Structure 1
Amino acid sequence: MPMLISVVAAVITRGDRILACRRNAGREAGGLWEFPGGKIESGESPAEALVREIREELGVGIQVGELLHRGSTPVNGRIVDLRCYWASLTDATPSTSTDHDALRWFRRDELRDIEWPEPDRPAVALLLDGARTNA
């Protein structure tokens, strides 16, 4: 049975823009754009993991909102269980990342013009279809 990896990601909005981050070239899925986040550690709730991961990767605080999408995708012999949450910045705007070589704020319609890893694609499709948070 494939190993299950539980992952969270933040769909961080600023006005009409959404933050996407390009993975460093040497990493798995290098060169692809993704929503920032990471693995849920033992004993953490998804929201706690997301706050920690964004602080570690981007050096900023967020407020976690509603779940946008959750899905499981086979990737390299594992199952990635990805939960994408709406999120908003609580302090500074990120300018660098420990896991990414580029950060960029995209309009929704621009999300279709960049390459995403398979687990992120359902959330991107929802955003392109106009999904909104109720928060």
Structure 2
Amino acid sequence: MPTVEVVAAVITRGDGVLACRRNADREAGGLWEFPGGKVEVGESAADALAREIREELGVGIRVGGLLHRGVTPMNGRLVDLACYWATLTDAAPSSSTDHDDIRWFGRDELRDVEWPEPDRAAVALLADGAESGDGV
């Protein structure tokens, strides 16, 4: 099976975690996810994540350490998703090119909405109290 390398930003603000709901017309439409996207050939994970967040949300981030990485079979391919801690370097985003809603969730609310399979391990870690080890 072909593998798609994907990165996602776990952006926190106080006790809140930023999540985005995929547009209905996209794959996994209507599900919540951590923003991010595919890593391009020759691009580092951190560079890809910063680029994707700038493209999707129009804001800058500082990429921190890895929260979780896992491989999930989906639709005839393997999704290799790496979720990194991140902090905003700009104001909070108000819109997205790939999402119809952006929301800050308390960690205790993360399990109240539906997530795509690749994101669920990171959601569980966050809901169970995982903290960034690098001050992000």
TM-score, normalised via structure 2 length: 0.98
Gaps of 5+ in 1: none
**In structure 2, distance between residues paired with 1:128 and 1:100:** 22
CA RMSD between the two structures: 0.4
Residue 92 of structure 1 deviates from its aligned partner by: 1.5
Which residue in 2 is equivalent to 1:86? 85
- Which one-letter code corresponds to 2:120 in the other structure? R
Structure 1 residue runs of 4+, over 3 Å off? Answer: none
1:65-117 superposed Cα distances (whole Å, 9 cap, x missing partner)? 00000000000010000000000000111000000000000000000100000
1:10 is aligned to 2:9: yes
1:27-49 superposed Cα distances (whole Å, 9 cap, x missing partner)? 00000000000000011000000
Equivalent position SS for 1:73: strand
Residue 134 of structure 1 deviates from its aligned partner by: 1.1
Residue 129 of structure 1 deviates from its aligned partner by: 1.2
Gaps of 5+ in 2: none
Equivalent position SS for 1:88: strand
TM-score, normalised via structure 1 length: 0.98
**In structure 2, distance between residues paired with 1:62 and 1:129:** 24
Which residue in 1 is equivalent to 2:71? 72
